[in-house]
């Protein structure tokens, strides 16, 4: 699967499944991830300490697989968007967007790179292209690029309808930790206030034909949000999978060994 195919799957009403890469940095991990049922990964550079060189090597290896690499950038800024796309990312997740201008900056950089300045601002605002040749060239050059916008605060939810009217958004991301903090109930994911807010994000986004990612760490929470309509399924992290896998295996081995005593 590539970015264009992933977008086509979602546009047709399908689901895709992926995880967050938070600690893995060595490209030798990537062939392992290629065979576990992932359609995409989100490589975290908002909270993860990665150099540009490390990220470029990681992305180069991912692009030899059928797993679509998307990068969560540190902040919704066009410089970060073009930097990660130039390095080989097929998508960008822009965190904590609250305004239409932030979203337009991300969309313009991801969908119309390398167009810059007044020309890209006019294109995003009005749809006006420099020429048909330039439009066709830029669409082909950026056809795999996926744009995911982070809606992670009460202010963002209040402005969601306006944000969704920006053309070029392929997905909406809800960060549960940030959202629950903004609601005044940190990490209390079973509270009605949290559930009702995220459900509102899903329903509003789907009404615009845009799927939602709700990033949770447990199968129970992830399946709950699939039931609520999340189709861009982002579950867990590499850190959690490694820890839980070892914990489960060694708990079983210790219990077995103790039974022999």
Task: Work out the pLDDT band at 35, boundaries 50, 70, 90.
Answer: confident
Domain ranges of the chain: 3-259
Rounded Cα distance between 232 and 108, Å, is 22
Rounded Cα distance between 97 and 39, Å, is 25
Backbone angles phi, psi at 150, to 5 degrees: -80, 115
- The per-residue pLDDT for range 146-173, each reduced to its tens digit, is 999 999 999 999 999 999 999 999 999 9
Mean pLDDT of the chain: 95
- The per-residue pLDDT for range 191-240, each reduced to its tens digit, is 999 999 999 999 999 999 999 999 999 999 999 999 999 999 999 999 99
b/e burial code for range 28-45 (CB count within 10 A of at least 16 → b): eebeebeeeebbbbbbbb
What's residue 39's pLDDT? 97
Nearest to 213, CA basis, from 145, 148, 146: 148
What's residue 50's pLDDT? 86
Q: Which range among 20-29, 131-140, 183-192, 211-220 shows the weakest confidence by mean pLDDT?
A: 20-29
Does residue 12 register a pLDDT over 90? yes
Task: Work out the pLDDT band at 110, boundaries 50, 70, 90.
Answer: very high
Q: Which range among 5-14, 34-43, 99-108 shows the weakest confidence by mean pLDDT?
A: 34-43
Task: List the beta bridge partners of residue 172.
Answer: 149, 212
Which CATH fold would you assign to the domain 3-259? TIM Barrel (3.20.20)
Does residue 111 register a pLDDT over 90? yes
Does residue 48 register a pLDDT over 90? no
What's residue 76's pLDDT? 97
Which of helix, strand or coil describes residue 60? helix
Classify residue 27 by its DSSP letter. Answer: G
What's residue 25's pLDDT? 84
| Contact between residue 241 and residue 36 where contact means Cβ atoms under 8 Å apart | no
């Amino acid at each position: 699967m590539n970015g264009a195919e992933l977008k086509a799957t979602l546009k047709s009403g399908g689901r895709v499944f992926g995880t967050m890469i938070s600690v893995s940095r060595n490209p030798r991990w990537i062939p392992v991830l290629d065979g576990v049922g992932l359609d995409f990964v989100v490589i975290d550079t908002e909270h993860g300490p990665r150099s540009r060189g490390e990220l470029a090597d990681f992305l180069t290896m991912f692009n030899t697989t059928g797993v679509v690499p998307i990068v969560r950038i540190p902040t919704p800024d066009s410089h970060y968007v073009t930097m990660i796309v130039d390095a080989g990312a097929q998508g960008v997740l822009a965190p904590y967007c609250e305004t239409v201008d932030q979203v337009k900056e991300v969309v313009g950089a991801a969908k119309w790179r390398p167009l810059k300045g007044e020309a890209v601002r006019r294109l995003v605002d009005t749809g006006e292209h420099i020429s048909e040749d330039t439009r066709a060239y830029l669409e082909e050059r950026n056809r795999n690029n996926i744009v995911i916008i982070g809606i992670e605060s009460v202010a963002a939810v209040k402005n969601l309808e306006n944000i969704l009217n920006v053309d070029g958004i392929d997905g909406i991301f809800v960060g549960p930790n940030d959202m629950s903090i903004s609601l005044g109930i940190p990490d209390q994911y079973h509270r009605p206030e949290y559930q009702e807010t995220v459900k509102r994000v899903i329903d509003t986004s789907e009404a615009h034909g845009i799927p939602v990612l709700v990033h949770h760490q447990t199968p129970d929470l992830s399946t709950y949000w699939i039931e609520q309509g999340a189709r861009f399924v982002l579950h867990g992290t590499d850190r959690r999978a490694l820890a839980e896998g070892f914990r489960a295996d060694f708990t079983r081995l210790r219990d077995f060994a103790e039974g022999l005593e």
